[in-house]
Structure 1
Amino acid sequence: MKAGITYDSKSTYLQNGFTKEEVAEFDSDETIEGIENALQTLGFTTERIGNIGELTKALTAGNRWDIVFNIAEGVYGIGREAQVPALLDAYKIPYVFSDPLVLCLTLHKGITKHVVRDCGIPTAPFKVVETMTDLKKVNLNYPLFIKPVAEGTGKGISGKSLIKTQKELAQWTEVLLEQFKQPVLVEEYLPGREFTVGIIGTGEQASAIGIMEVHIVDKSEDAIYSLFNKENYETRVEYSLPEKGVSKLCYKVALDAWRALGCMDGGRVDLRMDKNGVPNFIEVNPLAGLNPIHSDLPILSYKAGITYLELIERIMKSATQRLNLQMPKPCLQEVR
């Protein structure tokens, strides 16, 4: 079975003048190699396609694949994560992970929280601020937490995101509006423990494969799981396995959100407890990072006893079953 791989290469964009923050969500050569090696071990013949521009050229030249492993985040527009799957849909080419509707919805954190809240899943009270005049409508309880409405990997999040006064809210909301050219999500701050849950599967077939608690150990910069702390996680972050009772509560909230939003095949749901110890939905990552060493989903999988190869195998089994395709015979006699 021929599998294409679509991705946005971090090194390529850096060479083309993008900043480190602009490419924070994009994939390293190490990530692409890890995915390709795993797919080949599982019996797939692979082809590196690249970003949407390179995909467009390949399709125009007549190239086709039995399935595409899509981790392309896109560059421009609120629908950037949905562009590759939408193009593949137009050519009737099957792909791994969520469809355009899900990826458009979940990139916008505010609309995602509307859906989650309407489905009865706990999430912090919030407002979406599109202009500074919208701050008049923010009637939430302090402290607050603010972030760009459509960024990932902690972009736009720092110690300044924790807001304690109306003056701070105005000051830092204006900064984010100007810097990211998109609305700002303002929500009541959740003071409790923070978790991320790994999920494999689609709909009723989805299951939680692992969980880890996030601890910021070096608080000299900030105590937030920010872009800075994620990039320096070796010295600033520790991950642990929570108690079984806590894990069970988190699994339910994460799975309820995953199914309500229609996510497919694999990803992560981030949670944080409120003052009463109730896990609340923060956001979902339907295109979760898959770096074999640094990404949260592989890390929590390792803690659950799942190797990187097994993780990719489970993702591919979910996708091929959903698409009524047959998995190839693996290169190894038995995959572990």
Structure 2
Amino acid sequence: MKVGVFWRRFRNVELQRRLTPDKVYDDAYDEAYHHYEALKEAGFDAVLIEWKDDPIKTYEVIQKEEVDIIFNASSLKEIEFLELFNIPYVGSGIDLAATDKRMRKDIVAAHGLPTPKYVVAYSANEIPSVDHLRFPLFVKPIMGRGSAGIDEENIVYDKSRLPKVVSKITEKIGQPALIEEFIEGREVTVGIIGYRNPIVLPLLEIGYNNVKTNTYEHKMFDNEIIKCPMEVPEEIEKRIKDTALRIFKVLNARDYARIDMILGKDNVPYFLELNTYAGLTTAVERGEKHVHHGYMGYMAKAAGMTRKEFIGKILESALERYGFEDKELLLA
């Protein structure tokens, strides 16, 4: 059994590069190397594979290395490639990866789970009516990642400010803009690993350092105030975890995912989005290069997991889905 760990240049910052190319740091290789090391520590044979622009070249490397399963697929293009060539991989399938934030919100709402009301704008000149929405509003890319395009101006208190923010999303990032009600409360993110018997990790609360939301720079340069486990009454904790687990299941997430929510002042956990490519990096080992710390890495630590146990469990979930049941044989 051999695991190929994908890495792709600028995987986390490709959208933000369109706005501030001089303020991005590409940690794609460092992140993949973290996963590679964790898998080796867990006893798996692993190899790093760089994603090529020509998918045939990527396929040739996979064949040459005799890889059995891929870890760290990080875009819809990569998942389409793996599906096309029938290569097993870790993480959610094309049925979820191909959906945008709007579609996921609609599915969640259809199952009776709370999520802020929204509209979608395709240009600054054609913004749908927002009269039925409660201000302030929050504007973000419909398929964004890594807080790309997010700064404090994305919180909109006045309708006259909407065109400027929508234009940033639609013209500079090149995506439709999701405009939703801004729920005041505590930002909480919930990590879940597994598939048949998913495990909900300790809750993580994201506090802000002199900003009103988790902007790109605030997040990518680890400026957040992290509280993990989040301090909430037991009944509220259970409500958040139960809601997150239902979302994980109704969206058919696989192996790992992170659900972002706002715990409103009414103690209702409102669904914002599900991250299929959530960051999994943990604290680096002594002597290793610093790498941006993933939220799920904090959760794993709070759950008492080492990085090899954490990454290993995620891989084992995928192996179980594909029918590779004998772990001793896999490690041979």
TM interval, shorter chain, is 0.7 to 0.9
Q: Does 1:305 align with 2:298?
A: no
Work out whether residues 42 and 329 of structure 1, in 8 Å CA contact, stay in contact via their aligned partners in 2: no
**How many residues are matched?**
315
CA shift, 1:327, in A, is 5.6
Work out whether residues 142 and 177 of structure 2, in 8 Å CA contact, stay in contact via their aligned partners in 1: yes
Secondary structure of 2:138's counterpart equals strand
Residue equivalent to 1:268: 258
| 1:238 alignment partner AA | I
TM-score, normalization by structure 2: 0.86
Distance, in Å, in 1 between the alignment partners of 2:92 and 2:60 is 24
CA shift, 1:290, in A, is 2.0
Residue equivalent to 2:206: 214
Distance, in Å, in 2 between the alignment partners of 1:98 and 1:242 is 30
Work out whether residues 97 and 286 of structure 1, in 8 Å CA contact, stay in contact via their aligned partners in 2: yes
Label 1:171 to 1:130 Cα distance change in 2 as closer, same or farther (>3 A): same
Q: Does 1:156 align with 2:158?
A: no
Distance, in Å, in 2 between the alignment partners of 1:228 and 1:58 is 32
Work out whether residues 169 and 177 of structure 2, in 8 Å CA contact, stay in contact via their aligned partners in 1: yes
Residue equivalent to 1:77: none
Distance, in Å, in 1 between the alignment partners of 2:76 and 2:59 is 17
| 1:287 alignment partner AA | Y
Alignment of 1:53-64 (within 5 A): 53=53, 56-60=56-60, 62-63=63-64, 64=66
CA shift, 1:96, in A, is 0.6
- CA distances 1:146-179 after superposition (whole Å, capped 9, x unpaired): 1111111111111101110111112221222221
Q: 1:68 aligns with which of 58, 70, 95?
A: 70
Label 1:18 to 1:44 Cα distance change in 2 as closer, same or farther (>3 A): farther
Work out whether residues 8 and 27 of structure 1, in 8 Å CA contact, stay in contact via their aligned partners in 2: no
Work out whether residues 92 and 255 of structure 2, in 8 Å CA contact, stay in contact via their aligned partners in 1: yes
Q: Which runs of 5+ in 1 are unaligned?
A: 73-80
Residue equivalent to 2:182: 189
Residue equivalent to 2:288: none
Distance, in Å, in 1 between the alignment partners of 2:322 and 2:90 is 9
Label 1:5 to 1:25 Cα distance change in 2 as closer, same or farther (>3 A): farther
Work out whether residues 201 and 300 of structure 2, in 8 Å CA contact, stay in contact via their aligned partners in 1: yes
Label 1:284 to 1:43 Cα distance change in 2 as closer, same or farther (>3 A): same
Q: Does 1:46 align with 2:40?
A: no
Q: Which moved more, 1:301-310 or 1:275-284?
A: 301-310
TM-score, normalization by structure 1: 0.85
CA shift, 1:258, in A, is 0.9
Across the aligned residues of Structure 1 and Structure 2, the Cα RMSD in angstroms comes to 2.8
Secondary structure of 2:202's counterpart equals strand
Q: What is the identity percentage for the equivalent residue pairs of Structure 1 and Structure 2?
A: 26
CA shift, 1:52, in A, is 4.6
| 1:177 alignment partner AA | T
CA shift, 1:132, in A, is 2.8
Work out whether residues 154 and 226 of structure 1, in 8 Å CA contact, stay in contact via their aligned partners in 2: yes
Distance, in Å, in 1 between the alignment partners of 2:97 and 2:24 is 18
Label 1:84 to 1:303 Cα distance change in 2 as closer, same or farther (>3 A): same
Residue equivalent to 2:91: 97
Q: Which runs of 5+ in 2 are unaligned?
A: 284-292
Distance, in Å, in 2 between the alignment partners of 1:25 and 1:264 is 29
CA shift, 1:57, in A, is 0.5
Work out whether residues 229 and 237 of structure 1, in 8 Å CA contact, stay in contact via their aligned partners in 2: no
Q: Does 1:238 align with 2:226?
A: yes
Residue equivalent to 2:105: 113
Q: Which moved more, 1:166-175 or 1:95-104?
A: 166-175
Distance, in Å, in 2 between the alignment partners of 1:19 and 1:51 is 24
Label 1:239 to 1:54 Cα distance change in 2 as closer, same or farther (>3 A): farther
Label 1:265 to 1:48 Cα distance change in 2 as closer, same or farther (>3 A): same
